């Protein structure tokens, strides 16, 4: 009986922490990321160092030249690194910036905005079991099925507090950022927004000039 009461006490404490005694809004925000699908280009300096890092014996080089010239030789032609979406700057496509990480931004009203703005998929914490579940619910509301997503860890990757502007009697907003990654998917049916884009980190920072310093430190690419 004592163990049961102790568990209930911890649950109640956890719920009070999330509900926040000063009426601050708790928001779970999702950094939805598509990893690079081609090997990034090697830095010219690194490439130069690799060329002179070691010398191979002549006999080894001759053997390597004969590989793939037998009965099972396959003509291999790599796919172009520049896609049609790159040429047309189609930021709604996942088939762009193939050697970079892409992040989903959606356009519409969100907590504390009052008008449509660009933001990450997010949701106000209500009655979910924890913030991770709230983040999953936020992403699910925009893309539907989560079967092609992977949430990295249970803890948030970052935390940002947005204070109300002077003169406005509205609660401050505490955003907890969770990372999720695209798994084996080339397209999502994005909904519940006016528009959406898949952008690189550099492009993303241009959308949030006031939070650029914070986002630049939080997003490692």
> Is residue 178's pLDDT more than 90?
yes
Residue 1's pLDDT is: 39
What would the mean pLDDT of 140-152 be, rounded to a whole number? 96
Instruction: Give the residue-averaged pLDDT of 197-216.
Output: 96
Full DSSP string of the chain: -HHHHHHHHHHHHHHHHHH-TT-PEEEEEEEEEEPPSSPPPPPHHHHHHHHTT----HHHHHHHHTTT-STT-----PPPSS-HHHHHT-TT-SSSSTTS-EEEEEEE--TTTSS-EEE-SEEE--S-SSHHHHHHHHHHHHHS--TTEEE--SS-SEEEEEPPPTT-----EEEEEEEEEE-S-S-----SSSEEEEE-HHHHHHH-STTHHHHHHH---
pLDDT the model gives residue 44: 75
23 pLDDT band, cuts 50/70/90, is confident
Once rounded to an integer, what is the mean pLDDT over residues 131-150? 96
């Amino acid at each position: 009986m004592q163990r049961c009461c102790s568990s209930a006490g911890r649950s109640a404490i956890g719920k009070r922490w999330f509900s926040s005694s000063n009426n601050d809004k708790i928001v779970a925000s999702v950094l939805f990321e598509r990893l690079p699908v081609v090997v990034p280009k090697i830095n010219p300096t690194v490439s130069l160092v690799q060329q002179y890092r070691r010398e191979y014996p002549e006999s080894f080089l001759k053997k390597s030249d004969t590989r793939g010239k037998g009965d099972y030789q396959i003509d291999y032609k790599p796919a172009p690194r520049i896609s049609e979406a790159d040429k047309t700057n189609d930021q709604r496509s996942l088939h762009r910036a193939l050697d970079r990480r892409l992040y989903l931004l959606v356009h519409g009203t969100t907590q504390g905005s009052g008008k449509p703005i660009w933001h990450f998929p997010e949701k106000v914490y209500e009655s979910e079991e924890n913030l991770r579940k709230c983040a999953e619910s936020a992403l699910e509301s925009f893309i539907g099925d989560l079967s092609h997503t992977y949430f990295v860890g249970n803890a948030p990757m970052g935390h940002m507090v947005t204070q109300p502007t002077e003169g406005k009697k509205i609660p401050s907003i505490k955003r907890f950022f969770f990372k999720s990654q695209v798994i084996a998917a080339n397209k999502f049916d994005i909904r519940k927004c006016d528009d959406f884009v898949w952008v690189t980190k550099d492009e993303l920072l241009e959308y949030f000039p006031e939070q650029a310093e914070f986002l630049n430190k939080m997003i490692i690419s």
